Amino acid sequence: MKGMESAATETAVVPTGTAPTGMASTGEGAYEQVRQLIAGGELPAGSWLREATLAERFGVSRTPIREALNRLAAEGLVEISKNKGAQVVSFTPDDVAGLYDVRAGFEPHAALLAVPRMTDDDVRELASLSTRMEDVVRAGRLDELGALNAAFHGVFVDRCGNRHFATALQSLMRPAVVAHTFRQYTPEALQRSMNHHAELVAAAEARDGEWAEAIMRTHILAARNAAGARRG
């Protein structure tokens, strides 16, 4: 109801500087760092995530590392075997394709629900994120695109008006963000994706949920092809 103490819905604004090392704080920071290690491809699928190693690398103790790994396991990004450790899950082509299928089914619905509820600030945030993504693409810094894209989609998910729907969708998007790399996009597909974002902003500005629903579906189906995912 009251939406002020929701600590879980922050949209993770990346501070332009990626710098994985340096500003390591603790807890939440450890989670983010490990996640970026996975998303960045530094830890490929199947890699073992040793608590002591990560703890030393980030300059914290094993405790926050353990919490981060548990959280990642709950999100389906890593798999924990009792007394054996955690390893990065492998995404089969079928997994990725299925992920897009499900997102294509439900994220448009989230957009339909969210757009009529959006405040002017929400729309401004969408516009800002869209602009920043275009800048990032022009600069060729595709690494930053994933986080911005997740934040962009997160706005629609968070504003859909149902907390549990949002939770489910986010647990669906988290693996998608990891599996989804913009590096294999063709320039045309990348431009198309950016155009979709701009059009989603326009639909949000017009508060036209059905328009947003339609373009969101288009966006995800296009992404499924751009990412090279084929149906199983």
Partner DNA sequence: CGTCAAGGGATTGCATACAACTTGGTTCGG
Partner DNA sequence: CCGAACCAAGTTGTATGCAATCCCTTGACG
Per CB under 8 A, residues contacting its own copies are 1, 5, 7-8, 66-67, 70-71, 73-76, 79-82, 89, 92, 94-95, 98-99, 101-102, 105-106, 109, 161-165, 167-169, 171-172, 175-176, 232
Asked if 77 contacts 88 with a C-beta cutoff of 8 angstroms, the reply is yes
Asked if 154 contacts 125 with a C-beta cutoff of 8 angstroms, the reply is no
Sole binder of DNA in the list 9, 11, 61, 128 (CB under 7 A): 61
Sole binder of DNA in the list 83, 121, 187, 188 (CB under 7 A): 83
Backbone torsion region of residue 13, taken as left when φ is above 0, otherwise alpha when ψ lies between -120 and 50, otherwise beta: beta
Residue 168 interacts with which of DNA, its own copies, none, CB < 5 to 8 Å by class? its own copies
Locate all alpha helices (DSSP H) within 59-92, ordered by sequence: 62-74
The footprint of DNA on residues 86-105 (CB under 7 A) is 86
Residue with token string 């913009």: 182
Residue 6 touching DNA (CB under 7 A): no
Residue with token string 């993770």: 12
Residue 164 touching DNA (CB under 7 A): no
Asked if 123 contacts 205 with a C-beta cutoff of 8 angstroms, the reply is yes
Tell me how far apart the alpha carbons of residues 220 and 105 are, in angstroms, rounded to a whole number: 9
Residue 192 touching DNA (CB under 7 A): no
The CB-of-19 to DNA minimum distance in angstroms stands at 19
Tell me how far apart the alpha carbons of residues 143 and 116 are, in angstroms, rounded to a whole number: 32
Tell me how far apart the alpha carbons of residues 194 and 221 are, in angstroms, rounded to a whole number: 14
Residue 60 interacts with which of DNA, its own copies, none, CB < 5 to 8 Å by class? DNA
Residue 71 touching DNA (CB under 7 A): no
**Which range touches DNA (CB under 7 A), out of 82-90, 104-112, 126-134, 136-144?**
82-90
Residue 60 touching DNA (CB under 7 A): yes
3-state helix, strand, coil in the chain (%, to 5): 65, 5, 30
- The contact set with DNA (CB under 7 A) reads 25-28, 48-52, 60-64, 66-67, 80, 82-86
